[in-house]
Structure 1
Amino acid sequence: MLKTTKKLVNEEKVVRILTDIVKKSYEEIIDDPVLLCLECTDVDLDVATANHFEFQEAIKENFELDEYGDVIHYEEYQLLMKELFDFFIELHIHSEWFDYFPEGEYIVNGEGLLSDSEVIAPKGTFYAPFEEATIES
């Protein structure tokens, strides 16, 4: 499931928190569905966890801290966060809440359109990664 260079002492907790963040992001956009570009920082772990105290504390549990509560081996921390960012994207792609649209050509209203980005959207709202490709209810 979660593959990181550093063995986490609280992997289940970190996965649960990240899954909760993905679900919450879905709940925030379901009433006004939008397309989220995965390469354009529309989905960003740093932004999603910037003020998330529980996540920050859960990550710190895996590191030695200095007298101020800061991670001592910052390079290890940065590597873990990069790996968690990749996992965060995968959580979105494989979740029950979002449809995933890889880059490629799509037919929208009879016209071939090219998407040069990977995109997600709330499940069942778009049939292609373009604003005009909404699924009619």
Structure 2
Amino acid sequence: MLKTTKTLINEDKIIRILTDIVEKTYEEIKDEHVLLCLECSDVDLEIATVNHSEFQDAIKENFELDEFGDVIDYEEYQQLMMELFDFFIQLHINSGLFDYFPEGEYKVGEELLISDSDIIAPKGKYYAPFEDAIL
């Protein structure tokens, strides 16, 4: 269930599209050792959907459009996209496909290291959010 200030007429469709993007991302990187920073634009809804016409069309279904097919209330659109970004991050974390490492202290080898960002990685690749923490 999405928590957005705007009531969406096609919430299920938007959730399905975003879930598909998360699953596709996992499939593309599941065999790689990659750490994705959640605050550093490594996981970014705008980048993931800029050329995704099905997503763009699904979002536009919820807005009044001008004669060029552009959203008229851009501020409301921006607000929705920020809310969907938060949901997109949570989809990654809760998908079961990625390990989630919140910012904090981690023991890597004999060292105590501090991560100042929330990190995700394909499930089972790392035990901490650092390049040297490979399983």
Q: Under TM normalisation by the shorter chain, which class is it?
A: over 0.9
Identity of aligned residues (%): 73
SS in 2 for 1:72: coil
Map 1:55-134; keep pairs closer than 5 Å.
Answer: 55-134=55-134
Aligned-residue CA RMSD in angstroms? 0.6
| Cα distance in structure 1, aligned partners of 2:122 and 2:31 | 9
Q: CA offsets per residue over residues 24-83 of structure 1, 9 Å max, x none? A: 111111121200000000000000001000000000000011111000111110000000
Q: 1:21 maps to what in 2?
A: 21
**Superposed displacement of residue 6, structure 1:** 0.2
Could you tell me which runs of 5 or more consecutive residues in structure 1 were left unpaired when the two chains were aligned. none
Q: Does 1:43 align with 2:43?
A: yes
Give the Cα–Cα distance (whole angstroms) in 1 for the partners of residues 14 and 119 of structure 2: 24
Q: Distance in 2 between matches of 1:123 and 1:30?
A: 8
TM-score when normalising by structure 2: 0.98
Amino acid at match of 2:16: R
TM-score by length of 1: 0.97
Q: Which runs of 4+ in 1 moved over 4 A?
A: none
Q: Secondary structure at the match of 1:54?
A: helix
| Structure 2 gap segments, 5+ residues each | none
- Aligned residue pairs total 135
Partner amino acid, structure 2, of 1:78: Q
Query: Could you tell me how far apart the structure 1 residues matched to 2:66 and 2:50 are?
Result: 20
